[in-house]
Amino acid sequence: MQASEAIKKRRSVRDFKPEAVEDDTLMELLEAAVNAPTAGNVQPWKFAVVKEDNIKQELEKAALYQSWISRAPAVIVVMADLNRAAAAYGRRGVELYCIQDTAAATQNILLAAVEKGLYGCWIGAFSEKGVSKCMDLPSELRPLVLLPLGYPAAIPSPPPRRQVEEVLF
């Protein structure tokens, strides 16, 4: 699949078939993640794949009860490694670069997923404290994105986009 096709086809999907996602496929998605660009090639990230129902339910609770999250066969938790970010770039590393780096990794996962017929949704609305607690994360790992993934039960139509002419400064 061409990159341009994956970019167009990617959609936020919140309704999944119960079918599991194979471990090999999940590893390929993480391979796509670690190929994202990072400031100074620091790669200040960690990823967790959650498949256990009880932890998915805890994640859902932390994510303001977005009640479809635990129905996804897998949830990738994208985290910034703040120690690694700080060691390389101090405050700017912690406050900016690691957030941009993990965002690039997240988008890579979503685009690589499309090629495999998998869809998901970038979840930013969650209690970081709640996620850290249920995942038992050390303090240097900041959870930034939850990414429920699976084979879609339905793919919604694209929501409206602002046109390039409107956003071109």
Ligand X SMILES: Cc1cc2nc3c(=O)[nH]c(=O)nc-3n(C[C@H](O)[C@H](O)[C@H](O)COP(=O)(O)O)c2cc1C
Residues that bind ligand X (CB under 6 A): 11-12, 14, 66, 121-125, 159
Complex with ligand X: residue 85 or 121, whichever CB lies closer: 121
The residue at minimum Cβ distance from ligand X is 124
CB of 14 to ligand X, least distance (A): 6
Cα separation, 4 vs 111, whole angstroms: 10
* Contacts with 148 (C-beta within 8 Å, 6 or more apart), sequence order: 14, 16, 68, 69, 72, 74, 75, 120, 121, 123
Residue ranges of E strands in the chain = 45-50, 74-81, 119-120, 141-150
Complex with ligand X: residue 71 or 83, whichever CB lies closer: 71
CB of 114 to ligand X, least distance (A): 11
Complex with ligand X: residue 118 or 123, whichever CB lies closer: 123
Complex with ligand X: residue 41 or 161, whichever CB lies closer: 161
Please answer whether residues 62 and 127 qualify as being in contact, where contact means their C-beta atoms are separated by less than 8 angstroms: yes
CB of 78 to ligand X, least distance (A): 11
CB of 83 to ligand X, least distance (A): 24
